[in-house]
């Protein structure tokens, strides 16, 4: 009966990291979509810069700089959330080793969990910065039309 209880205990303890990975994966999907839109918009502006009258070129260059900064911020956010996924994934082998070999690796499991949470927090901070720059770019585009 001991091996079955051990297996059940192991499977129960693995559910939390797997759920965490699923939730964080949705955030990663959202971030990669934001990055793709930023890259597409940047390419569109570069194309427009070749055709736009001289008066609008500086405005387009400012928008392009903002989009490039957004891309770097989103990259950092994606790296942080990917680090979170990696950390969460490493919890599972630690739990397996703990259950199979009866080794106390709780500290390592807690450390990986804290790294995972830290990655989520960093990613959220970068996401907030991206939203701020998004609104700044939108303001440049619409300010002549709303005054």
* pLDDT score at 54: 65
Phi, psi of 103, rounded to the nearest 5 degrees:
-105, 140
- How far is the first Cα of the chain from the last one, in angstroms, to the nearest whole number? 75
Query: Is 64 inside a domain boundary?
Result: yes
Read off the pLDDT of residues 9-37 as tens digits, 9 standing for 90 and up. Answer: 777 788 888 888 999 999 999 999 999 99
CA distance readout (Å), 122 to 22, 84, 128, 130: 18, 10, 10, 12
pLDDT category, 120, cuts 50, 70, 90? very high
Query: Is 7 inside a domain boundary?
Result: yes
DSSP tag of 51: T
Q: What number of residues does the chain have?
A: 147
Domain total in the chain: 1
Percentage of residues in the chain with pLDDT exceeding 90? 63
**Domain with 85 in it:** 2-142
Query: Is 93 inside a domain boundary?
Result: yes
Query: Is 105 inside a domain boundary?
Result: yes
Is 46's pLDDT higher than 70? yes
* pLDDT score at 26: 95
Query: Is 147 inside a domain boundary?
Result: no
Lookup: tokens for 101: 């070999």
Is 1's pLDDT higher than 60? no
Query: Is 87 inside a domain boundary?
Result: yes
């Amino acid at each position: 009966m001991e091996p079955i209880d051990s297996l059940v205990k192991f499977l129960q303890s693995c559910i939390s990291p797997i759920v965490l990975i699923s939730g964080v994966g949705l955030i990663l999907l959202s971030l990669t979509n934001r990055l793709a839109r930023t890259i597409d918009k940047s390419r569109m502006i570069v194309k427009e810069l070749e055709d736009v009258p001289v008066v609008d070129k500086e405005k387009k260059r400012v928008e392009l700089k903002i989009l490039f900064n957004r891309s770097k911020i989103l990259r950092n956010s994606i790296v942080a959330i990917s680090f979170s996924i990696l950390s969460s994934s490493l919890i599972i082998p630690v739990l397996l080793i703990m259950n199979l070999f009866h080794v106390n690796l709780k500290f390592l499991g807690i450390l990986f969990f804290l790294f995972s949470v830290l990655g989520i927090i960093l990613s959220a901070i970068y996401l907030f910065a991206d939203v701020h720059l998004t609104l700044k770019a939108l303001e440049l585009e619409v300010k002549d039309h709303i005054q």
